[in-house]
A and B are shown apart, each in its own frame.
Chain A
Amino acid sequence: MGFNWRYLVAIIGIAAVAAMALTKLYSVPPQPVSGPNFAFSKPSDQGTYVVAIEPETTPVKQGELHSWIVTVKTPDGKPVESAKITVSGGMPAHGHGLPTSPEVTDHLGEGRYRVEGVKFSMAGLWELKFAISAPQGDDQAVFNLML
């Protein structure tokens, strides 16, 4: 007979090796080459302010409303007391905004402001944007958070 069963075994063997190599490949989570910056304190985009954020309660849980304290200072460390701050953000990878409309509800002094009504409705990379308007100028700071 023309058919050699050993070839079949060989083909199955090659397929098996390839399949194992592939599953190995796919079971390793992809490593970001250059990840986003997760710092909670940074200069605003134009360098007008130094902005720091901090959740009021930790851990920050998916699906629960929580508040953050935002601290706004000038680059030489003076607190900015009369800032108007609006909050936006979302998930860049999914193209959607925040599930809620957070607002500044309190000015605590020393450049500190309470932002209430923040919610993250799923795990993943979120962006929080703070647009700041004060006598020093209009500027914004964008923070990345991994939930």
Chain B
Amino acid sequence: MSRRRYLTFLPAALALSALLGCKPVPFTEAEKKAVASLSLSSLPPLPADPSNRYADEPAAAALGATLFFDQRLSRNGDVACSTCHLADRQFQDDRPLGVGISTTSRRTMPLADVARSPFLFWDGRRDSLWAQALGPLEDAREHGGTRAAYAHFVKDNFAARYAPIFGPLPDLSDVPASASPLGGETEKVAWAAMSEAQQEAVNRVFADIGKAIAAFERSIVHEKTRFDRFAEAVASGVEPEGDAALTDEEFAGLRLFVGKANCIECHNGPRFTDDHFHNTGIPPADGLSEDLGRQAGVAQVLADPFNCLGLYSDAAPEACKELRFMVKSGPELRRAYKTPSLRGVADRPPYMHAGQIPTLEAVVDHYARAPKSREGKSEVVPLKLSESERAALVAFLKTLSN
């Protein structure tokens, strides 16, 4: 080979080293737009909650914070919301299934920016934060109490803080110490024996407890992470510096996330969720009873007396659009679950609605294999991902934590 021919290859060889050595191919305009759409800085202001007229009252939020951490709000005096939603653990508990008085059948959900979610729980069986809070309070496996007991508790312990916000507490002298339409047999009988006016008075105090807790939960928000600092730099056309600069592997993972792997189809927007329900073929956890996901959730939210259209909601019916226009039937609801946010996800295994998947590597493997759903039909299609692509996706997900 002559010296001249060798020289003609030199620039190409240099270009290759540049390609391997540092800069990956820059983003296309479409990729830039996708990255910006995921950035926390594109989060709009928190919308009002017309169903809770106390949602933005500081005194209500302060009372709600007290109640959220108060273990006396339970049958055995040992369970608070914070027993499962730990403030220093993204308001979740790192367990496959939440444990209160006994073990539940679902994974505890983190609470950052939960006030933006139109439907609550993995199956969306509640349509507001305040209606949601009433669920665990009466669930025998969680707080295990009854609404009548909680009304008495508030009257005995928080009357001075309650009244200025919600108005005077009702007369509870003839209300049994424990009664609820959802309690045990004696509690159901006690509830049925109450007058309609008494039931309504207790329901109102119960709903107010939920509204105070909801006002507090509105303050739990996501914090910016390395990914957001990177996305802001990309959006303003400057070179990301310091910890905002993603490694080549993280960058490749982000590109897969918004591109070939199509995670952004469901994990979209600044919270990495479309707030919608999908069957992704996650198998039911062993030993739990049948779980139909959204199919059951739809029926429950429609029947909930505390929903947006109910007696205790502060919203005009026209404002209850999410509930009125939700999809109420169809095969796609079977074993569909709410898309979780992926912010902070690397710090909170195990994953999925019953903690079925232990690691992020195993999650990515699930999406690559796209197994058939045991019931209903999975929306996920198989993906060809190399070892390094799988690692890149996981590396990118870690940039969503601090």
A residues lining the B interface (CB < 8 Å): 4, 6-7, 9-10, 12-17, 19-20, 23, 26-29, 62-63, 65, 94-103, 116-117, 119, 121-123
CB < 8 Å neighbour of A10 from B1, B34, B266: B1
Residue pair A13, B13 in contact (C-beta under 8 Å)? yes
Question: Within 8 Å CB of B303, what residues of A?
Answer: none
B residues lining the A interface (CB < 8 Å): 1, 5-6, 9-10, 12-13, 15-16, 19, 25-26, 28-30, 34, 37, 264-266, 268-269, 274-276, 321-322, 324-328, 330, 332, 379
On whether A94 and B1 interact (CB within 8 A), knowing A23-B25, A101-B326, the answer reads no
Question: Within 8 Å CB of B5, what residues of A?
Answer: 6, 10
Residue pair A13, B12 in contact (C-beta under 8 Å)? yes
A19 shortest CB reach to chain B, Å:
6
B231 shortest CB reach to chain A, Å:
16
Chain A residue at smallest Cβ distance from B8: A13
Q: Interface on chain B toward A: helix, strand, loop, or mixed SS?
A: helix
Query: Which among B321, B325, B332 has the greatest number of chain A C-beta atoms within 10 A?
Result: B325
A23-B332 Cα distance, complex, nearest whole Å: 38
Question: Within 8 Å CB of B328, what residues of A?
Answer: 101
Query: Which among B30, B276, B322, B332 has the greatest number of chain A C-beta atoms within 10 A?
Result: B276
Residue pair B265, A16 in contact (C-beta under 8 Å)? no
Residue pair A100, B30 in contact (C-beta under 8 Å)? no
On whether A101 and B327 interact (CB within 8 A), knowing A10-B9, A122-B265, A123-B37, the answer reads yes
Residue pair B326, A100 in contact (C-beta under 8 Å)? yes
- The 6 A-B residue pairs whose C-beta atoms are closest, nearest first, are A117-B325, A16-B16, A13-B9, A13-B12, A121-B274, A16-B12
Can you offer 11 A-B residue contacts whose CB atoms are under 8 A?
A9-B6, A10-B6, A13-B10, A16-B19, A17-B12, A27-B25, A28-B28, A63-B274, A65-B325, A96-B379, A99-B276
Chain A residue at smallest Cβ distance from B271: A63
CB < 8 Å neighbour of A19 from B6, B16, B379: B16
Question: Within 8 Å CB of A27, what residues of B?
Answer: 25-26, 28
Residue pair B10, A9 in contact (C-beta under 8 Å)? yes
A94-B265 Cα distance, complex, nearest whole Å: 9
Residue pair B13, A29 in contact (C-beta under 8 Å)? no
Question: Within 8 Å CB of A6, what residues of B?
Answer: 1, 5-6
Question: Within 8 Å CB of A63, what residues of B?
Answer: 268-269, 274-275
A73 shortest CB reach to chain B, Å:
26
Question: Within 8 Å CB of B274, what residues of A?
Answer: 63, 99, 121-122
Residue pair A121, B275 in contact (C-beta under 8 Å)? yes
